[in-house]
Amino acid sequence: MGRTYHDFAADVAGVIEQLAGDRPVHLLGHAFGNRIARTPANDRPELVRSVILRIAAEVLAFLTAVGEASP
């Protein structure tokens, strides 16, 4: 199985803890990285002071209840 956003968030949290200790940080997510930046804010909110999203608009295929791509 591949890595999830939560796996990447755990990596980011580890870096924050090593570099900032217990001080919350500002995270910047650029393009696909916006998803990575938002996840630690959700999973470990005590480590994140703010999230800045840059170029975060991307087209996604949403799935219907039966698992087919929506039109």
Statement: the pTM of the whole predicted model exceeds 0.85: no
Domain count, the chain: 1
The answer to whether position 69 is within a domain reads no
pLDDT at 57: 63
Q: Range of 45's domain?
A: 5-54
The answer to whether position 45 is within a domain reads yes
Mean pLDDT by 10 residues, the chain (71 residues): 88 96 92 89 94 73 50 50
The answer to whether position 44 is within a domain reads yes
pLDDT at 32: 83
Separation CA 23–CA 30 (nearest Å): 22
The answer to whether position 18 is within a domain reads yes
The answer to whether position 12 is within a domain reads yes
